[in-house]
Amino acid sequence: MYWKRRFFENIGATSVTPQSFEISRAQGCWIIDSKGDKYLDFLSGFNVTNIGHSNEQVIRAINAQAQQYMHTTVYGEHIQSIQIKLAHLLLSLLPSSLDCSYFLSTGSEAIDAAIKLARSATGKSGIIACRNSYHGSTIGAESLRSDTEERNVFYPLLPDVRFINFGINEDLHFISPQTSCVIIEVIQAEAGVRMATDDYFLALRKKCDECNALLIFDEIQTGIGRTGKLFAFQHTQIIPDILLTGKALGAGLPLAALISSKNILSSFQTNPVLSYITTFGGNPVCCAAAFAGLQYLLASNLMENSKQNESIIRKNMTHSLIREIRGKGLFIAIELDPRIRRNDFIQKAYEKKLLLDGFLFEHNSLRIMPPLDISEADLNSGLQILLEILDWYKINLESRS
Ligand code: PLP
């Protein structure tokens, strides 16, 4: 009670109804509260804990780096071998055109940096983004949010942003010679996990090339193994000019990266000099966590597991109140019958010790994104809770009709 009272008194809030769940510790796919109750995590801290909570290899790497040095100066001035090791490993897993990494701290910061880079590298200002995408909360990232009428307290936002519908080929004609960049997710997360076709991505790449516009993939949610490959774009046949990763990259610590070609990234050095500077981007302790986390992911079968777990979810989640299951790997949305109030459903799951959430722009779907190290038994026990709640709704809805 003490911490709860102090939380409401001293901590700035983001909503009037915070979950206010008091954490004691977390391990694997379990979060333990202050009373010692265990909750099954189907959220992964919004796709941060892909390799599970409290991974021992990551903790050892953090300790070792903290004992060596933690912060020497702002990003980009000193040679810190752990940054180089991480960049080298990441780049070795990517197509050769993506050969240079710029480290930052958060996803929103990576988005803002990418906007600046695209404008300075192309000399153009136009930006194309998709309706119903969330790219972060800084003013640059906020400007890429299409429901801005409701958010007009923040006006004026960035000019020259045009919104298109995700996955719709006909909208690609809005990309023009004035476009500096197209910022797009490979799988649209907050729209409720929406996919696009191979043909769409091929047409998108072609149109960007024709207009000399940089193609920027925001893989801040979909990256680091979540969809069964290291990055979701590796399911497509195209390569972006700029790849953004964050969230799970730091294996629990704040780290993001803007990955592009040496040529494009040179704009930060020269046009103008010090175009983007950051104190904590690429912090060595965060890089140590990320390096250990990435090594762990690559040596494990977690990416393969996430594909198998997708099949388990699709096979076991059959119910008359489920409308659709969308997604790839453990990046899944379950769309419910519209008569069910999603937030009530989430509350019922919480009472049964299953942590769930929904999406910003889709109000009928549940977010099913557990840590990739979840066992088949734990996954099934979580799915069983969902089915029990659905049965409860079925009885109640039938008795009402
Ligand atoms: N891009 C996407 C697709 C996201 O989902 C988010 C955060 O949820 C961001 C960017 C912003 O990341 P951050 O919260 O680390 O600033």
In the chain, domain spans: 2-55+301-400, 56-299
**From 49, 50, 130, 134, mutation site for ligand 1 pocket: most ligand atoms within 8 A of C-beta:** 134
Which helix (H) or strand (E) is 217 found in, with range? strand 214-218
Please report, rounded to a whole number, the percentage of residues in the chain having pLDDT higher than 90. Answer: 91
User: Which residues are within 8 A (CB) of 118 and not within 5 positions of it... i.e. 6 or more apart?
Assistant: 127, 180, 181, 214, 216, 242
The architecture in CATH of the region 2-55+301-400 reads Alpha-Beta Complex (3.90)
**From 135, 255, 278, mutation site for ligand 1 pocket: most ligand atoms within 8 A of C-beta:** 135
Sheet containing 331-336: give its strands across.
322-328, 331-336, 365-368
Give the Cα separation of 345 and 368 in Å (integer).
13
Q: Do domains 2-55+301-400 and 56-299 have the same CATH topology?
A: no
**From 49, 217, 220, mutation site for ligand 1 pocket: most ligand atoms within 8 A of C-beta:** 220
Sheet containing 161-164: give its strands across.
100-104, 256-260, 242-245, 214-218, 179-185, 126-130, 161-164
Pocket of ligand 1 (CB under 6 A): 46, 106-108, 111, 134-136, 185, 189, 218, 220-221, 246
Contact at 8 Å (CB) between 330 and 43? Answer: no
Find out if CATH 3.20.20.10 is the number for domain 56-299.
Answer: no
Rounded to the nearest angstrom, the distance between the alpha carbon of 136 and the centre of ligand 1 is 5
Give the Cα separation of 291 and 287 in Å (integer).
6
Ligand 1 atom closest to 254 (CA): 15
pLDDT digits (tens, 9 = 90+) for 345-367: 999 999 999 999 999 999 999 99
Rounded to the nearest angstrom, the distance between the alpha carbon of 246 and the centre of ligand 1 is 8
Query: Is 235's pLDDT higher than 80?
Result: yes
Average pLDDT, the chain: 96
Contact at 8 Å (CB) between 116 and 242? Answer: no
pLDDT digits (tens, 9 = 90+) for 88-142: 999 999 999 999 999 999 999 999 999 999 999 999 999 999 999 999 999 999 9
Contact at 8 Å (CB) between 238 and 45? Answer: no
Ligand 1 atom closest to 247 (CA): 15
Contact at 8 Å (CB) between 270 and 259? Answer: no
Rounded to the nearest angstrom, the distance between the alpha carbon of 134 and the centre of ligand 1 is 7
Give the Cα separation of 371 and 28 in Å (integer).
7
pLDDT digits (tens, 9 = 90+) for 210-231: 999 999 999 999 999 999 999 9
